[in-house]
Amino acid sequence: MISSVLLVLIFVTQHNIVLSKLCNGANCNSVKLPLLDNQNAYLFAEIDVSSMNEQLQDFVQKEINSTYNERIADTKDRIAVHSLEEFTKIQKNHKTELLNLNTLVEEKLETMSKSFKQEMKAFIRDEIKLNIAGLTEKVSMTACTARKDYGSKSSGYVVKFADVSTSSNINNLSTFRNSGKFEVEVEGMYLISAWIFTSVTSHFSIRKNREMIATGYMSASAGSNAAATAVVAIDLKRNDEIWVQTEKSFFIHSTPRASCHTLIKVK
């Protein structure tokens, strides 16, 4: 609470006496004021200053509150303006980063698209060349059983033809000699044949990827020999496998070049 102070000045008399009264404190409610009448006689008036004190206190408090509120509002405004500026700056930087990222992504996509188109063109070109080469490339092979593969064989045995007498444009002959399975490298129409010389009654098959595509039967009486031939024309794709397989146990005769296998690409 602000203490009110009321200073009352008193007129100076001819005797050089200064009459004044100083009122201090919150409990100062009235003051006596000396006055002169028209005959220069002293008069005293008692003035109630309590309402003046209240008005003064109210005025001062309002001024303090107003100044405080104005400063608070000004501080809030400055903070709001600063925050808005910072937000605008961040938003602008974010937009710039997004634009740069979008540009980078578009450039990457364009580069990838060009690279993909070039690779596809090269792939298609190579495939066309390969297909043309396949149409004109000649593939052939004739191979017979070797001495080490003569003798009795059980049912389901893959016959080995390790003695290769003729081959053209075949790169996997060593695999064929060991496994008895021919893996197609060039697509096309093939003529395939197999003949086996034996001394027992039995039969064999030509198989493509486990599928039976031709069968040869032989019938031999006691003390005699027999041979059977199986021939088939079939369209083969790359990586198809062709082999000759026994369907019953029988004996492969030791006569040289009597049991053979031939493949010819005809188209």
pLDDT in tens, 188-197: 999 999 999 9
Looking at residues 17-28, what average pLDDT do you find?
49
Q: Is the pLDDT confidence value at 22 over 60?
A: no
135 vs 202: which has the higher pLDDT: 202
pTM, to two decimals = 0.50
In CATH, the number for domain 140-265 is 2.60.120.40
The one-letter amino acid at 185: E
* Other Cβ atoms within 10 Å of 249 Cβ, number: 13
pLDDT of 30 reads: 56
pLDDT of 2 reads: 40
Domain with CATH 2.60.120.40 in the chain: 140-265
122 vs 23: which has the higher pLDDT: 122
